[in-house]
């Protein structure tokens, strides 16, 4: 039984890591109704920039600030040269634009910083410790705490600040938001910057675990079923979705994998997400759209 709980707990902690990436998607979707396919590339860009600065002898916090500035510059460029030109275009157009952006950012990151694999040590010991007969990872617990703080801060930002409320208004109806004097460009710049910040945090944690390399951009594949289950508009939903996906995929791999061939972790979360789609298309915390006919 303790093995079952060890797998379950390990899965929950892995799920939090997926949530970190999913939050970046939610932020942009919540504020602009755009599914930002480039979020994974932003994670890669942020982590690669950070680690490359670090390797050039820059201190940890200065590298963090400089990377954040680079993410602001990226957000400004995207807003100025892509999004502003596509205001009021259909969502599929914006989605296709982010698809293109994804490849551009990936290529840019590798052109700027090279294609080598970099190790990243955040100074957090990853030696396991024993708790009730189960081995737990200090790093995973640290990552869970970071995710918790991030959710708290973002929830306050969206619910209690003027900018946060304005962002929600924009997501509901861009034209109406413009009509009441909300500056769309400024808000998009803010939200893409915040998404860049979340990407940086996710990039550092994933980078410390995988090494900073191209594959970081593939962690989005783990975030998609999380979004489907948690809903595209809820930050708390990202966490809950992450926990469900993390726990279920690990339990399925360990206890079902042996009977159906193993290696099921890639498709099992998507199967689960599809079942959720059938029952609750907006996800657990997603907002149901009601339109007047």
Q: Which residues bind other proteins (CB under 8 A)?
A: 3, 6-7, 10-11, 14, 107, 110, 114-121, 126-128, 135, 137, 139-140, 206, 209-215, 218-219, 222, 249-250, 253-254, 257, 261-266
Residue 130: CA count within 13 A, CB half-sphere:
4
Cβ 128 to other proteins shortest distance, Å: 5
- Looking at the Cβ atoms of 190 and 239, the one nearer to other proteins is 239
* Chain length of the chain: 293
- Looking at the Cβ atoms of 135 and 145, the one nearer to other proteins is 135
Cβ 150 to other proteins shortest distance, Å: 20
41 CB contacts (<8 Å, ≥6 apart)?
101, 102, 103, 105, 106, 109, 217
For the CA atoms of 29, 14, 258, 228, the dihedral, rounded to the nearest 10 degrees, stands at -10
Count of Cβ atoms closer than 10 Å to residue 240 Cβ = 19
Cβ 221 to other proteins shortest distance, Å: 9
Q: How far apart are CA 184 and CA 8, in angstroms?
A: 43
Cβ 91 to other proteins shortest distance, Å: 29
- Looking at the Cβ atoms of 11 and 237, the one nearer to other proteins is 11
Please choose, from the candidates 17, 7, 13, 67, the residue with its C-alpha nearest in 3D space to the C-alpha of residue 221: 17
Please choose, from the candidates 90, 80, 49, the residue with its C-alpha nearest in 3D space to the C-alpha of residue 199: 49
Cβ 99 to other proteins shortest distance, Å: 17
Q: How far apart are CA 143 and CA 246, in angstroms?
A: 14
- Looking at the Cβ atoms of 95 and 267, the one nearer to other proteins is 267
Cβ 35 to other proteins shortest distance, Å: 22
Cβ 277 to other proteins shortest distance, Å: 22
Give residue 165's Cα distance to chain centre.
21
- Looking at the Cβ atoms of 265 and 287, the one nearer to other proteins is 265
- Looking at the Cβ atoms of 94 and 105, the one nearer to other proteins is 105
Q: How far apart are CA 14 and CA 31, in angstroms?
A: 27
Q: Which structure tokens are listed for 255? A: 């206890």
- Looking at the Cβ atoms of 30 and 222, the one nearer to other proteins is 222
19 CB contacts (<8 Å, ≥6 apart)?
147, 223, 226, 230, 238, 239, 241, 242, 243
- Looking at the Cβ atoms of 184 and 216, the one nearer to other proteins is 216
Cβ 262 to other proteins shortest distance, Å: 4
């Amino acid at each position: 039984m303790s093995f079952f709980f060890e797998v379950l707990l390990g899965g929950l902690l892995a799920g939090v890591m997926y949530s970190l990436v999913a939050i970046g998607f939610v932020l942009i979707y919540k504020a602009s109704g755009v599914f930002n396919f480039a979020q994974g590339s932003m994670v890669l860009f942020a982590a690669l920039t950070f680690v490359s600065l670090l390797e050039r002898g820059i201190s940890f916090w200065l590298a963090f600030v400089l990377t954040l500035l680079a993410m602001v510059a990226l957000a400004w460029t995207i807003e100025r040269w892509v999004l502003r030109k596509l205001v009021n275009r259909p969502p599929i157009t914006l989605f296709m634009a982010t698809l293109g952006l994804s490849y551009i950012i990936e290529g840019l990151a590798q052109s700027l910083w090279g294609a080598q694999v970099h190790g990243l040590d955040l100074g957090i010991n990853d030696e396991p410790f024993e708790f009730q007969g189960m081995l737990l990872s200090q790093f995973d617990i640290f990552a869970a705490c970071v995710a918790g703080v991030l959710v708290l801060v973002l929830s306050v930002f969206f619910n209690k600040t003027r900018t946060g409320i304005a962002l929600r208004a924009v997501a509901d109806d861009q034209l109406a938001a413009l009509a009441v004097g909300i500056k769309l460009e400024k808000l998009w710049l803010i939200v893409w910057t915040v998404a860049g910040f979340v990407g940086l945090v996710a990039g550092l944690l994933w980078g410390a675990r995988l090494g900073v390399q191209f594959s970081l951009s593939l962690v989005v594949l783990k975030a998609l079923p999380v979004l489907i289950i948690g809903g595209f508009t809820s930050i708390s939903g990202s966490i809950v979705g992450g926990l469900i996906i993390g726990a279920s995929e690990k339990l399925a791999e360990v206890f079902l994998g042996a009977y159906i061939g193993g290696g099921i972790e890639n498709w099992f979360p998507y199967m689960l997400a599809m079942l959720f789609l059938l029952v609750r298309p907006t996800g657990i915390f997603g907002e149901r759209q009601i339109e007047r006919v």
